[in-house]
Structure formats: structure tokens, C-alpha cells
Amino acid sequence: MISMTLEEIASVLSGRLALRGDAAATDVVDGYVETDSREIEAGGIFVAKPGETTDGHNFVGVAAERGARLAIVEHEVDEEISQVVVADAVTALGALAAHVVAAVRDRGALRVVGITGSNGKTTTKNLLAAILAPRGETVAPKNSFNNAVGAPTTMLRVTARTEFLVSEMGASGRGQIARLVAMATPDIGVVLKVGLAHAGGFGGIESTFAEKSAMVTTLPSTAVAVLNRDDERVAAMADLTAARVVWFGLDGTADVRATDVEADRTGTRFTVTLPSGESRPVHFKVLGEHHVSNALAAVAVATELGVPIDEIVERLETVTRAERWRMEVLGGRDDVTIINDAYNASPDSMAAALKTLALVTPPDGRRVAVLGTMAELGELAGDEHDRIGLLAVRLRVDRLVVVGRDARRLHISAINEGSWDGESVFVETADEAFAYLEGELRSGDTVLVKSSNSAGLRHLGDRLGELFSW
């Protein structure tokens, strides 16, 4: 974070400063801002956020012991650490982030990139950070820090030297993206896809469209909206923004487009073409054709930021996985490949992962899908699990292992759709799935493990990867 005095922070937050010990209002802090006391480093700021199961105020003392210089609280805590008392800690976190980003922009050449979409945000963020980091100090989220807490926490990592802030802007309910955009209005706003992820929180696909479009509706005419030409709902956002539009996609009319796309177990090969007409072959090691779209979005942004095409391609080809537990290729022993993609799941990403499984499995190998629930779909959950069960049959998945009661409907739909005889197996737990697969898998199998994070199948994927590691 940039250097600020305690009294400056209190003023920005319209809070009351309560000093402790020998601290003075003019004392300067510039450490990282955290909402988890376990992540606090010396000189940092701890935000005591009330939670669903615990209260951050209970950990103010722990944060102080770890070296925090200041706590942002909703009520004073009897601990030896100076505190700024505010009405709402999460709101205060956002206000501090907005102030810091604006201050750095005023002082230097900070460029802000905002990324949203129902799928692909984390992958695109990681690709873009890999491209930009060699050119200047780049701040990007850890993991999937893209909500009302994670996004401002990332923004607060900018310093006076930061040149690029890459911000994921996600939402599980209405109005959240607009609030994040207001904290750090992007110079380049990216919309990847409008799908059914978190549809239960939005109330349907049209509400999801309205939420995602907040990324571009408030952009000024000096900004750039990078939009997916292949998604009709994202394409419709061109009429909602004053910003200059740059298209990416497989569509032949896209400004940044991919052709000659071929995928196998080693990744995806394609040719990328820029608005200038320049084109280059790319061997993109992140598995799955659907990640080509994310790569194109990153290329479009990097091109707008002045990165030459050869440098972009070189950096893209160094990235070997989208993120931990996202199309992560494991195993290899006995020619058994594990694709661990169980960090998140929506109907779109589940379908894309199954299609990738079908595409990359060798002709003489078996397609094995280990699937768990897709969470946060609300009243759409039943129909969408049905649809994935039918898709698994139509893609000729050889073995389907469905894990957990919340996903059982997927198993039933697969059985009802196909003339199968034991190809679909239902188990209650990940341990049962591991025991079954340990005896079932054989040479040549390609295994997809896919579910929402809440199902915990990412750990099953790791166990399978370790079982078949060299």
C-alpha cells in the first residue's frame, strides 16, 4: 500500500481514530491490508470483518501480535493496537481501496484492467499478469480474490511504482460489480462470458447479463471495452458503453481472433491474429479449447497496452496451467492422465470440460468423468444437472462417477438417457470415489475431475494425481 498516516486513513474512512500505547496520529503505515489475521505481516493493517461463522474482532489481538500497526473495526477492542472505528468494515475496506488507487493514478502511470465474466476470470487474470509482469510492477489477485473483500484487498497492494493493476471483478448477487468498478474504474474493461454461474443469486440469465454489463456501462469514452464476439450477450454490451470496443474470439470478424485450433493432452495450438494483421502460431499449454478465448482476451488487453506480439506469445507459452485445480494435468504413470478442474463449476464450464475430455482422450483410451455438484444455481440446479448428465452420454464418456447427493440427479439423468449398463456409478463421498477408481482405472485412461469448490473434489483429483505420478 502507499504510505498513509493513521489520521489520513481515519479521515478517508470517516472513522474515529483510537490510538493505543505510544502511537501518534502522524505515524505512517504502508503494509499490506488483510482480513485474515493469519496473513498479517509486520506493519500491516487488519480489517476486523464480521463473518458468517466468526467475527474478525475476535482476532484483533492475534493481528497485533503478528505485527499489525492498525486495525479497522466496527467497535473498539481492548487490545494494544491503534484502531479506526467505522460503521461498516467491508465498506471501509472498499473506500480505502478507492482512495489508494485514485492517489496512485494521480501520481503516476497506473493502468487498471477490470475483468468479469461467468467463467474464465482467473485464467485470464493469470495470463495477463504473466504477460505484463516483465514490463513493470503488476498487481493481480491471489487465487480468485474477486468479491467485495478480495478485490479491494488486491487493489490495496498497489504502490507508487505500480504500473498495472489487474482486477478480477466477480459477483454472486446484484450490484456487486458496479461497486467494484466504482472503486477502480478500469482503463480497459473485459467481459468474457455471460452464463449461469451464480444464477441463483442473480435470478436468471437476463439478470446475470445486467450485472456483468456494469463492467462497461460506466466506462468513459477514453476507455476500452474488450468484449467476446462469440458470446451474443457479451456482444450486445457494445451498445451499452461509451468506450471504444475491441472484439476477441473465434469469430472471423473479431479484432483479435484465433484460427487453426487443435487440442490434445499437451494443450492447444492455434494461430492468433491482431487488428494490425500480424499473426503468430501459439502452443498454449493450458488444457482445453475453451481457454483459447481467455488467452485471446489477454492478448487483446496486452496489445492495447503496447506489448509486442512476439513478447505476448512468448509469455503465453510459458504458462502451463490456468490456476491450481483448474484444468491442471496430473499423473502420467501407466499412461493415466488426471485433469483436475474441481475448483469451480458452472453449467458452461462443466460442458466445456467434458468436451475437452472427449477431445483430448486418445482413440484407444477411455474417457472417465468424475463429477460433483454445480453450486449456486438456485431453481435451475435440477435442469442443469440433467443437461450435464445427458451431455456425458452424448459425448460417449466411458465411465461416469458422480459424487455426492447434490449431484445425484446427474447420475440418474445419464442412466435414463443411455442404454448403459454400469457405466455410471454414484457414490456418496470422495473417499468412496477414490476407492472405486483405484481399482477401476487402467492404462490409457484420461480422467476429468470436475465440481464446484464446495464439493471438495479438488482434493480427490490431487489424490488421483499422486496415485499415478511417476
Percent with pLDDT over 70 in the chain: 96
Please report which confidence band the pLDDT of residue 283 belongs to, taking 50, 70 and 90 as the band edges: very high
* Mean pLDDT in residue range 20-40: 95
Give the pLDDT confidence score for residue 24 in this predicted structure: 96
- Overall domain count for the chain: 3
In whole numbers, what is the pLDDT of the chain averaged over residues? Answer: 92
243 occurs within a structural domain: yes
Tell me the per-residue pLDDT of 381-415, one tens digit each, with 9 for 90 and over. 999 999 999 999 999 999 999 999 999 999 999 99
Q: Say how far apart CA 158 and CA 235 lie, in whole Å.
A: 32
* pLDDT for residue 267: 86
Domain that holds residue 52: 4-87
pTM > 0.75: yes
Q: What are the cell numbers at 381?
A: 440446479
Supply the CATH number for residue 338's domain. 3.90.190.20
Closest C-alpha to 89, from 62, 71, 63, 67? 71
Taken in order 138, 144, 146, 149, the sign of the CA dihedral is: negative
Select the more confidently predicted residue: 205 or 45: 45
Please indicate, yes or no, if residue 188 is contained in any of the structural domains. yes
Task: Band the pLDDT of 196: cuts 50, 70, 90.
Answer: low
* Residue 234 pLDDT: 96
Question: 185 and 72, same structural domain?
Answer: no
Domain membership of residue 322 (yes or no) is: no
CA distance 11 to 60: 21
Q: What is the mean pLDDT of residues 265-270?
A: 88
Contacts of 119 (CB under 8 A, 6+ apart): 192, 193, 195, 197, 290, 346, 348, 349, 352
250 and 128: one domain? yes
Cβ-contact 271, 259 below 8 angstroms? yes
32: which 3 cell numbers?
499490506
Binding-site sequence positions for ATP: 117-123
CA torsion sign for 463, 405, 171, 50 is negative
Q: Is the pLDDT of residue 168 over 80?
A: yes
Q: Which residues are annotated as a binding site?
A: 117-123
Domain boundary among 256, 285, 316: 316
Are 273 and 200 contained in the same domain? yes
Please check whether residues 172 and 75 belong to one and the same domain.
Answer: no
Give the pLDDT score at 126. 92
Which residues make Cβ contacts (< 8 Å) with residue 375, sequence separation at least 6? 345, 406, 452, 453, 454, 455
C-alpha cell at 7: 489520521
Whether the pLDDT of residue 198 is over 70: the answer is no
Alpha-carbon distance of 469 to 72, in angstroms, equals 46
- Per-residue pLDDT, 197: 53
Section 319-344 average pLDDT: 87
Q: Are residues 111 and 238 in the same domain?
A: yes
DSSP character at residue 331: E
Shared domain for 83 and 98, answered yes or no, is no
Residues in the chain: 470
pLDDT 10s digits, 273-282: 999 999 999 9
C-alpha cell recorded at residue 399: 465411465
The pLDDT of residue 111 is above 60 = yes
What is the grid cell recorded at 45? Answer: 493493517
Tell me the pLDDT band of 37, cut-offs 50, 70 and 90. Answer: very high
